[in-house]
Amino acid sequence: MLRTIVLVIIAAAFGSGVANAQQKVEIKGLSSKVKVNQAVSGYLSELNGKYQLRVTEFTLEPGGSVGPHHHAGPGILCITAGEFTEGQADGKTTIYKAGDCYYASGDLTHSARNATDKPLVFLSFEILPASLSGGSIMPVPAPK
């Protein structure tokens, strides 16, 4: 019963159905380390306590991948080593290299892979709900 209540709360928070909240994103060869996780505070008082800023360092091993997914909030990704191949739902593919940074809104379906023989390392700077304690990668919501 408690598990059902938790899944309903998660589904309501992210605008998806309970069945979708139980889905998993296929992940291979990805590791992460949270570098900073801080509740928002300051002059933008309407944000204080409602959001957190999180910086995470990700490593995607050669041949590693993350299947189609969304994120719980928007962010900026900066590639620090290697090469990142991002696939989008519309079929577009973009390759980002060390030194590149880009904005990710969180609500667009995309996938990631490391098609090289060297590890890919990138930093993710995200704005997330204050209540989120786990990872920000989430399954693609079911169509409405």
Q: What is the mean pLDDT of the chain?
A: 86
Containing 21, the helix (H) or strand (E) segment is helix 18-21
Summarize pLDDT for 122-137 with one digit per residue, the tens. 999 999 999 999 999 9
CA distances from 69 to 64, 87, 104, 123 (A): 15, 11, 12, 18
**What average pLDDT does the segment 47-56 reach?**
96
| pLDDT bracket for residue 10 (50, 70, 90) | very low
Summarize pLDDT for 16-43 with one digit per residue, the tens. 333 344 579 999 999 999 999 999 999 9
pTM of this prediction? 0.80
The more confidently predicted of residues 19 and 91 is 91
